[in-house]
Amino acid sequence: MSNERKNLSSRRSTLKAGLALAATPLASGVAQLAAAQERPTTKVHGFETMADIAKAEAEGEFTYYSHDSEPAIAGILEAFNKDFPKIKGKYVRAQTGTLFSRTIAERQAGRYVADVIQFSEITTAMDFQKRGGYQRYVSPETKHYDARYLSNPVGDYFWVGVTFAGIAYNTEKVKAEDAPKEWKDVLKPTWMNGANVKQSNSGMQFVQWWELRKLYGEKFWADFAKNRPRGFDSRAQQFERLAKGDDRICVLAEYAGYLLVKEKGAPVAFVAPADGLPATPAICGMADRAPHPEAARLFMDWQMSPRGQNHQQTSSYLFYGSVRKGMGPMPGGWSLSSFKLLLPDSDMDAFVASRDAFTKEWNGMLGL
């Protein structure tokens, strides 16, 4: 937490720089892409790469830093390894805030461990970009993405997919007629000691805090705190408690987490409030001074490709909606356009500046 507070001022300046970049036309990305073609392009498994595959196989491994759950990360690396058996992926898993602080501390100590890094919140990626954290690599697969889903300048990171959250409840502990129907329903005293959320190091939790304050005012979370919610590090912990009945409602119920436990037969139901569902992109990029640069480039290309995107969208541990052009819907026939999503894509300056206020309020609510 202390590291995140120290980084707040730089996050604010990062936003200003990032907004200036965002306002710049991305025609320069075309020139960058053309310049990047100096590296030979190879087609493999139906996608294009400028990685030297022989060198990537000689490197034999790479390290992936990610906010996702351990089963989700392991599944991604296993799918990649099936396509490239000579390259083994290792990983470091932590929530976005912790992952960012760890990576910055490593870099300040002259240690460069990560080859590819993924955050669950856009402003963290922007901050990392400003610090020179990314190795710019304009993948040949970039052309299949709209500019709004790419970094500016192009090549630092891209949106792997989008995850979103509603409300979930235990159907054995809560009758359907009594379940929350809208966000304001989670404020009812009936949920005292029966609700869970994530901790303040979660990028998604930050987004939800921000978006519901915009909808209902600053008093919303103070009123919610009266119900003494419990906070957890991962959605797996949240849904495990919900399925067991230890908690009756999950107030940050990520759709992917809900689908996973529902498939296993857990007595849970999902509610999509009409006011919208807080959403955040997963942001992936190649780390600066990556120890295994060719393997990192190949993995980035694979992530952007239909093979990688299909895994992200259909894996039961992920279910991230793809923003790649031409991708089909998520399991069940749903697409991102099926939901009203609340993304912090306006007034980003205020969003970033509020991070310290969020951390203070959230940790206070959870007694941390």
Residue 86 CA to residue 304 CA, distance in Å, equals 20
* 56-to-114, 157, 230, 298, 329 alpha-carbon distances in Å: 15, 20, 44, 7, 32
Under CATH, which architecture does the 164-279+348-360 domain have? Answer: 3-Layer(aba) Sandwich (3.40)
* pLDDT at residue 33, as a whole number: 55
Q: 66, 114 in Cβ contact below 8 A?
A: no
Q: 170, 245 in Cβ contact below 8 A?
A: yes
Using DSSP bridges, classify how beta strands 88-93 and 116-119 pair: parallel, antiparallel or unpaired: unpaired
Residue 217 CA to residue 278 CA, distance in Å, equals 15
Q: How many CA atoms within 13 Å lie on the side-chain side of 323?
A: 18
- Torsion of Cα atoms, 236 then 242 then 246 then 251, to 10°: 90
* pLDDT at residue 124, as a whole number: 93
Mapping DSSP onto H, E and C, the string for 281-337 reads: EEEEEEECCCCCHHHHHHHHHHHHCHHHHHHHHHCCCCCCECCCCCCCCCHHHCCHH
Please name which of 354, 352, 360, 353 lies closest in space to residue 2, comparing C-alpha atoms: 360
Cis amide bond preceding 153, omega within 30: yes
Three-state SS at 39: coil
- Torsion of Cα atoms, 272 then 277 then 282 then 283, to 10°: 170
Three-state SS at 179: coil
Whether this model's pTM surpasses 0.85: no
Residue 319 CA to residue 11 CA, distance in Å, equals 29
Q: For the chain, what are the domain ranges? A: 2-162+280-334, 164-279+348-360
Question: CATH: 1.10.287.130, 3.40.190.10, 3.40.50.150, 3.30.70.20. Which one for 2-162+280-334?
Answer: 3.40.190.10
Backbone angles phi, psi at 208, to 5 degrees: -65, -45
Average pLDDT, consecutive stretches of 10 residues, N- to C-terminus, the chain (368 residues): 39 38 41 61 98 98 96 97 98 95 97 97 94 97 96 97 96 98 98 98 96 97 98 95 98 92 95 96 97 98 98 92 94 84 86 94 97
Tokens of 233: 């590090």
Q: 317, 68 in Cβ contact below 8 A?
A: yes
- Torsion of Cα atoms, 28 then 29 then 30 then 36, to 10°: 120
Residue 38 CA to residue 10 CA, distance in Å, equals 35
Q: 163, 204 in Cβ contact below 8 A?
A: yes
Instruction: Tell me the one-letter amino acid at 215.
Output: L
